[in-house]
Amino acid sequence: MTARELVSPARSLLNWPGRLMDLFDDDSFIRVEEVVEDGSLVLRAELPGVDPDKDVELVVENGVLTLRAERREESETKGHHRRRSEFRYGSFARRILLPAGATDEDVKATYENGILEVRIPVDGERAEARKIPITQT
């Protein structure tokens, strides 16, 4: 058996719709960027093709921001004999650990051109690092 014959079945599995590689593909997560500016943590998330009023939920709880979104598939395929789509549909979620000093008061979120922007106030005070003693038993 040649190397090409060994690789071919594996390659077809990786290219198969609903590919095995999708389990390990970072694109299955909501991609974000974070920056601290003007006393706020600013989080931007790519969410094209969603209706923020119906399909997005933001929750801040116990120092964690949870972002849930759902992209619904268009089911109409009139006149199409064959269909191929690499668009991602379904529910997506992302949890972001907030920095020390972040508050859940006065959080603001806006959505424009497929980008969700969340601003979370940070009071600027960070908890002091402290060494934890280790007891041997």
DSSP string, the chain: --HHHHHHHHHHHHHSTT-GGGGG-GGGSPPEEEEEETTEEEEEEE-TT--HHHHEEEEEETTEEEEEEEEPPP---TT-SS-------EEEEEEEEPPTTB-STT-EEEEETTEEEEEEEB-SPPPPP-PPP----
Walk along the chain (137 residues) and give the pLDDT tens digit of each residue.
Answer: 554 444 445 544 444 444 444 444 444 478 899 998 888 999 999 988 888 999 999 999 888 999 999 887 666 656 667 777 666 677 888 999 988 888 888 899 999 999 999 999 988 665 567 777 777 77
**What is the structure's pLDDT at 63?**
87
Domains identified in the chain and CATH numbers: 28-72+88-124 (2.60.40.790)
Q: Which pTM was predicted?
A: 0.63
**What is the structure's pLDDT at 124?**
64
**What is the structure's pLDDT at 25?**
45
**What is the structure's pLDDT at 20?**
45
Asked whether the beta carbons of 71 and 8 are under 8 A apart, the reply is no
